Chain A
Amino acid sequence: DQQVKQNSPSLSVQEGRISILNCDYTNSMFDYFLWYKKYPAEGPTFLISISSIKDKNEDGRFTVFLNKSAKHLSLHIVPSQPGDSAVYFCAAARAGSEKLVFGKGTKLTVNP
C-alpha cells in the first residue's frame, strides 16, 4: 500500500518554462511534507518543505502548494533551468514521527 504516490515517472519541459511536479498521499495523519532532489550517484538533497497548517511555501524559484482536502501537493519550479534536471521525490511524515515516507520519484528533464 503506497501512502505517497508520484504518478508521473517523468516530465520534460523547456528551459524558462514552469515545471509542475505532483504528489498524492492517502494517510490523513501526515502533517509535514518535503521535496527532495536527487542527481545520479548522489544522495537526495532537501529542497523545500511545508507544514499542514500552511497551503503554500515559497523559496526562490521553488514553491510548494498543499491541498489537504484533496490530499495533494505540488512543486512548482519557475523558471526551469537545465540544472534542475534530476529525480524529484515527495516525502511525508506523521505528526510526532521522524520517519519519512517517500514516493517513487519523478524524473524531470529541462531541455535547453
Chain B
Amino acid sequence: GAGVSQSPSNKVTEKGKDVELRCDPISGHTALYWYRQSLGQGLEFLIYFQGNSAPDKSGLPSDRFSAERTGGSVSTLTIQRTQQEDSAVYLCASSWGQGNQPQHFGDGTRLSIL
C-alpha cells in the first residue's frame, strides 16, 4: 500500500517477555519516527531515524527499548523484558525529512502486557 504499515496491529504478551514491532514507511521517505501513546495521553516521541545519520534516541524511556532501521527502510522497535507500564499504542511515522514536512502515521501496534 501507499501508507505507513505497522505489524502486528495488536500484541498481547506476558510481563518479562521481549517484543518486536515492525514499521514499513512510505516508499522514498528518508525519515522514520517512533512514538507511543499511553491511555489518555498525547503521543510521546521515542526515536527518529534520518537517512544514514545516527538515530536520535533521546526519547527512549529506558535501555530496555531499542530500534533499528535496516537498509534505510523497514524499522523494528524492540522492547526487552516488558513491564506493564509498557502497555500503549506504538505509532510509527515517516516523512521526507526535509524542513517542515508533515509526518505520516501508520495505524499503530496496540501492545498489552499482562
- Where the two chains meet, the residues of A that have a C-beta atom closer than 8 Å to any C-beta of B are 4, 6, 32, 34, 36, 41-46, 49, 51, 89, 91, 93, 98-105
Contact = CB atoms under 8 A, between A and B. Distances in A.
B43 A42 contact: no
Contact of A51 (B33, B45, B100, B107): B100
Contact of A43 (B31, B102, B107): B107
B103 interface: yes
- Please classify the interface of chain A as helix (H, G, I), strand (E, B), loop, or mixed, using the class held by over half of its residues: strand
Nearest to B105: A43
Interface residues of B, number: 27
Given A44-B43, A105-B42, A100 B103 contact: yes
B4 interface: yes
A42 B45 contact: no
B75 interface: no
Contacts of A99: 33, 45, 48, 56, 58-59
A34 B103 CA distance: 10
B50 A98 contact: yes
Nearest to B10: A41
B76 interface: no
B41 interface: yes
B105 A4 contact: no
Interface string B60-98: 000000000000000000000000000000010101010
